[in-house]
Chains A and B, each alone.
Chain A
């Protein structure tokens, strides 16, 4: 069996507007473009992903909400038409995806062993949520890489941010263990917007970019502050600010994907590459990459880990555990 590897993690937001603006053959509505800065950002992310040649993409989505535990798609092939319940005018997409069921089952089992409630979704008629489909399309429109799709347990909302994100930290570590044990070469996708204040009415022409702008100045300023920290690799500071960011910018990272991904990557103190930032109906969206392979942090070892940690890895291993449980 190959040694497991987490090649990289991407912040991969899911506004369906980006698919709509691109006009791919899978999506029924046609647009006049729009949101180019974000779509071109995704084009660069696609190029990077192509070079990584991963076995699997793992994605945590905020739009498959579950109340009893963390769920994993467990059907080898799923297809159908996904119509966005919020933006049915923009997103009516024919999808077809392959699930890495073996890895999903391993994630489910590792999560259970870590004390989480976990469950495999085995119903072949299940409709995959539009957030998952949007992020996956924007990262890999060829749909030729198997995926692991994880639900968003509503604990950050039902309980509180701290308890919820602590669960996501545990889920991330369990996901890392599963990748290691199955020997996968994995790329992780956190399907999250940043600031999430948004318009309450849609422009008459949705892709009229003269109407697009941040919904609030405070949200925009928060996004810039957090992105700058991420670019500089100050992830410890990012995570210490995360609860305040969530409260003050209504940030969607509350739903857990960002914490899950960074926990799986062991919170690397490495600079992220920003491919682009833009607003969609006022929300803040950034496409970003943390490249662990470039940093020499990608290979997963036995429990205890740290096979190829360079300077970043040494820094990583000195992190205070309390920060990891934001």
Chain B
């Protein structure tokens, strides 16, 4: 397509607006922006902010799909707007809303305090089986041991999975996909020895047993983390642990 051809084309953005200090109810505002083959939805929002309406607020930073800031609902689907291309929606209008199931602070900005607290609750950090001084060098870990948990390290905390999770929508106390996947990331790490402590938090009704395996978390994950798989895997472990505790009560 020639550049002059695309220059005249435009696309409509229907953008969720809400400023709690000025409006009681959210509204939608429509902006007409230039259509470019290589533009992502975030580029279109930046065009609005820079040239049409400086009052529109949203989060963004890296524009390369790794910082996790710019998650929004795009035509009803949770997406990283830096990775959602206009060409996949054109010529239809694009509706942009804040991620669902989260309280809205303003416009497209959600409140994610809940997730930040859950990350601490699940103890998403390495707790070595045996402490080893730095002077003795690294813990050995084979490529196969690394591969065992690597997928779950790829979570960018973008919150798309929470927005896709109907269980989280109904029960905000549910730990949710990313927090459980990150707990599993450490449980499966050959260097870690704190799975039992995390079990007290995640092998619970608000943890893995709350998940009804809809699987949408894995479908929308932009980094292919597969949180649903992590939860299923944890359920198997929890069940095995339970049987073991019945059969061999002293072996804890």
A and B pair up: no
Chain B contact residues, CB within 8 Å of chain A: none
